Structure 1
């Protein structure tokens, strides 16, 4: 199967799941789509007990995908663009001071809290790690995902 067919099937399923959520469930998009996806996946797993053809086809498709390339090189740019497209810049201007405080002091505080906690936890477990490496881990973990914030 080529990439265009896979993309077509995924877009079609997304549209159908979105329609079902909007028409019948009326849940927030992320919650509704996740519930429908879980139900669909469980249906495929139950169907595989009778006929494993669909499940085997899905396994072969998934194993042929290079997720690092797909996520970082293709999907991330679309997700960030879609999030930025719906940004309300007037509201962003009104909320600039809380945003500035959370994006600087909040991230610094979180970095030191996470780094310190990890450092003392590792010392308690007799795993000697330098404090600077724990701070580096805290700095990597602390910034919030921009797509999650926009959601």
Structure 2
């Protein structure tokens, strides 16, 4: 399947799931699409278990053609952040800039550590020996919130503009913080739990400084 065909398939399925959610579940849009995506995946796995060769293998082969880390981090994330940023009140956001930065940086760091600690503890109870840096990698993936769903929820609640800007701004910036933590933690995890401080500092400066330069440009 070509890239254009794959893109059309994803957009078509997302539109179908959004329509089903509007007619049946009436959940927030992003949550509804996620629920139907999980149901579709479960049905594929069930069909494969009952009737081998019925579709799950083809779905796996299709996913194997995609470089998911590159597609998600360098492609989908950019459009997701743009969709969330275009509705934010910039003046209100600037007025809450210190609070937003504190929540985005310190809040995301705390959330990643809490996720990583919980995941590490659960794996330990289940008898899996997973190093803590890999748990931090997973925590960095789970901790940042979806800016589109957050902005949509705030708009439905009708909160004052400055409060919306505070939460929406934090939701937008925590993805960048999460990417930096993910990159650094992945470097440590792939080095077997140890990495030179200079290498970590270089990765941090590259991600943060490069992101700021591109954003300013």
TM-score bucket of the superposed structures, by smaller chain: 0.5 to 0.7
- CA deviations on 1:104-136 (whole Å, 9 max, x unpaired) are 6x459849xx5xxx8xxxxxxxxxxxxxxx9xx
Q: How does 1:1-151 map to 2 (within 5 A)?
A: 1-48=1-48, 49-89=50-90, 91-93=92-94, 95-96=96-97, 98-103=99-104, 106=106, 110=110, 145=144, 147-148=146-147, 149-150=171-172
Using a 3 Å threshold, how does the CA distance of structure 1 residues 90 and 9 change in structure 2: closer, same or farther?
Answer: same
How many pairs are equivalent? 123
Gaps of 5+ in 2: 118-132, 148-170, 173-217
User: CA–CA distance in 2 between the matches of 1:108 and 1:36?
Assistant: 28
Q: TM-score w.r.t. structure 2 length?
A: 0.47
User: CA–CA distance in 2 between the matches of 1:70 and 1:18?
Assistant: 22
| Displacement of 1:99 | 2.5
User: CA–CA distance in 1 between the matches of 2:22 and 2:7?
Assistant: 22
Q: CA RMSD in A?
A: 3.2
Gaps of 5+ in 1: 119-133
| Displacement of 1:89 | 3.2
SS of 1:53's partner is coil
- CA deviations on 1:57-94 (whole Å, 9 max, x unpaired) are 11111111111221222212111111111223354356
Q: Which structure has the larger Rg over C-alpha atoms?
A: 1
Report if the CA contact (8 A) 2:21-2:27 is conserved: yes
